Chains A and B, each alone.
Chain A
């Protein structure tokens, strides 16, 4: 019917296939949930309170570089002789906060755009879809690398890159859900009552769209986490002495032969963090879906 590119149908298809629930953590089961979530929750807690309980201050050299674990240093030391456990405790917040901001911004932008497109239909819908289709084919790493070339890989740039590459997917979800909901009798009633578009979207549509959006936000968080860590790995990390687990992987990879924990500890933390976030969001979105 139009020249609208149907690339974005891909995301629509996943929405269709999964209904209102996220597929990512589905089927894990109660015990599985406990199994994966417990260590993850511990990591989240450590990431939050880490800076307060770290035995050594951020960036302090306390021993020779790349010492293996000892009584004094639980996981040994890193390339500057800093206590790895302390550095890991200091480096969690950034990986929690930046991807969280990115996920929230993506859900917000994607949800809003998708709802507007799905509700208004017509030309605006077509225009929005065309724009989304463009963004959908750009890998996040590519967009982030191009942006980082000029502006550096600061938190804002990461969030922007995530919104640009993640929100089209979400907007598709929101648009599909909105189209369904807006046919429903209670929405039609609101329309005939003469309620404003914004009111209808907020009061009638939003609660029904939020479930799938939140469910997918786990993937957005994961995507942002991956981008932050990958960027650090490619050499665009935060300013010293600030650190994060991605930076730690890059910095300490060269010393893996001397102290493997320099690599293993941050890698495990990243994996556990993303598992935990997925599980938590799954649980939350399940509530909405009911």
Chain B
């Protein structure tokens, strides 16, 4: 049961897999707690600025010029064995295709929840039943979108066999009783009331496929682009859907080309083989800062990964709060950001969710204090530590090496036990019992993060933070239908975690993408670039 709940997190594991197979997969950022989204008819084209900020020329700003056309090639990581199945996918290339071929019921523009092909998504009084009303849209083969398609989609995504990485989050639905009172209405009962069902689940994944479909090479959706050709591990070609129910896209053609090495992706951009490089390294971004032929798009904290170390508060020596305190004081967070991220990131304060709604900005920043750290380590009798690490995300090992140096300054000898990235998650028992390990999380709103990775119900609690009081806070943060009430609980939970958890978040690694100048109007949803309203100047 628990196991099912968190199986969505396997996605996180996959994103951190090997540098060869998968580059970055979409970041599952959460969303704000807007209980009553009031979408406009053209929700997709509404207000810009939701995406990452650009360092040089404008990347995501105002509505682009009407006449654009042209072809954009996106260099992205992807797997050779993908099948274009939105229910079961891990590489960037796949997601890049899904978010153009399909529409979602709701999606995240930056940290803001927007409605896609849904006219409205409303809970009942206590959040135990949600009603989805659809807009009028047609699939690429001309058939209209109906409630049956949505019901099928939701049933499929809740099936662990069909959607192993997604089903966990949707297991809260009472699948057998999903109802379709008419062609445009779907009623979804939940097994437990959830005030955050739209924000925490539908906004993160609600791609709508036609009844009975699992995608594939001839996949059709209702999205702004039609799938023209798909070859796993090499390319996905899409052409504009001129009959789109909303404003049609400006670009004629979109092609995702698979390049798994970030340096090669940038090379493709520089060599004129691509117009957009999806995920480049900090070093590359820094090296190209003065290059006028390249625009570096920085994601900022809202589009980032939280990087740090996890001390398990249930395992010696970190069952001693002084040891945890010493560790937190020994870390020079700014040095990590400067060295590991080359400055392309933001400093962390041991909590996940910076830059996103609900984050506890009010808690003062933890500063380094080597003397106090050394004294605390000494009084706890700690002179040697071992840390489990591996390149589970870019920079994880580099950060671990830096921690070795910083702990040495506090009088502690840290030994690294490095595992191959692809085997890091193979032994669960070890991860749950090791005192100290490297840790990274997709930066999501604090409530989404804490309910997933801490508390007694979490399936992947590597710091051991739990207890009656804390579990109560988390439960309230999920069920409360009233937004302000919910945020109150989230604040309390963060304060509790800050005081008691063994997690050190030294910083946030922001998404770094690169494009040619003149490619404007890209919006980002969970780190996936959307080119629906993008334009390309000749």
Q: Does A152 contact B (CB under 8 A)?
A: yes
A81 to B338, CA, bound (A): 10
**Stretch among B60-68, B160-168, B349-357, B398-406 lining the A interface:** B398-406
Contact A240–B283 (Cβ < 8 Å): no
Q: Which B residues are in CB contact (< 8 Å) with A152?
A: 420
CB interface residues, B 418-432, toward A, < 8 Å: 418, 420-421
Q: How many residues of A contact B (CB 8 A)?
A: 22
Contact A240–B18 (Cβ < 8 Å): no
Interface residues in chain A, defined as those with a beta carbon under 8 Å from any beta carbon in chain B: 59-61, 64-66, 79-81, 152, 234-236, 239-241, 253-258
Q: Which B residues are in CB contact (< 8 Å) with A64?
A: 338-339
* Nearest residue, chain A, Cβ from B395: A79
* Nearest residue, chain A, Cβ from B416: A240
Contact flag A61-B338 (CB < 8 Å), given A235-B421, A257-B287, A258-B283: no
A241 to B263, CA, bound (A): 24
Q: Does B113 contact A (CB under 8 A)?
A: no
CB interface residues, B 3-48, toward A, < 8 Å: 18-20
* Nearest residue, chain B, Cβ from A257: B287
Query: Can you list 24 A-B pairs, Cβ within 8 angstroms, ordered by A?
Result: A59-B401, A59-B405, A61-B405, A64-B339, A66-B286, A66-B287, A80-B340, A80-B398, A234-B20, A235-B19, A235-B20, A235-B391, A239-B416, A239-B418, A240-B389, A254-B262, A254-B263, A254-B284, A255-B284, A255-B287, A257-B283, A257-B284, A257-B286, A258-B287
Taken residue by residue from 337 to 348, chain B's Cβ proximity to chain A (1 for < 8 Å, 0 otherwise) reads as 011101000000
A234 to B261, CA, bound (A): 10
Contact B339–A65 (Cβ < 8 Å): yes
Q: How far is the CB of B295 from chain A (nearest CB, A)?
A: 16
Q: Does B281 contact A (CB under 8 A)?
A: yes
A235 to B389, CA, bound (A): 15
Contact B287–A61 (Cβ < 8 Å): no
Contact flag A240-B281 (CB < 8 Å), given A234-B20, A258-B287: no
Q: Does B201 contact A (CB under 8 A)?
A: no
New A-B pairs, 8, CB < 8 Å, besides A61-B402, A65-B342, A66-B287: A66-B283, A235-B19, A240-B389, A240-B401, A241-B416, A254-B283, A256-B287, A257-B284
Residue among B283, B284, B400, B405 with the most chain A CB within 10 A?
A: B283
Taken residue by residue from 359 to 401, chain B's Cβ proximity to chain A (1 for < 8 Å, 0 otherwise) reads as 0000000000000000000000000000001010000011011
Interface residues in chain B, defined as those with a beta carbon under 8 Å from any beta carbon in chain A: 18-20, 262-263, 281, 283-284, 286-288, 338-340, 342, 389, 391, 397-398, 400-402, 404-405, 416, 418, 420-421
Contact A257–B288 (Cβ < 8 Å): yes
Q: Which B residues are in CB contact (< 8 Å) with A253?
A: 263
A123 to B30, CA, bound (A): 70
Q: Which A residues are in CB contact (< 8 Å) with B398?
A: 79-80
* Nearest residue, chain B, Cβ from A241: B401
Contact B286–A258 (Cβ < 8 Å): yes
Contact A60–B405 (Cβ < 8 Å): yes
A126 to B316, CA, bound (A): 61
Contact A240–B397 (Cβ < 8 Å): yes
A258 to B401, CA, bound (A): 21
* Nearest residue, chain A, Cβ from B397: A240
* Nearest residue, chain A, Cβ from B335: A61
Q: Which A residues are in CB contact (< 8 Å) with B338?
A: 64
Q: Which B residues are in CB contact (< 8 Å) with A239?
A: 416, 418
Residue among A66, A80, A254, A256 with the most chain B CB within 10 A?
A: A254
Q: Which A residues are in CB contact (< 8 Å) with B420?
A: 152, 235-236
Contact flag A61-B339 (CB < 8 Å), given A66-B283, A240-B416, A254-B284: yes
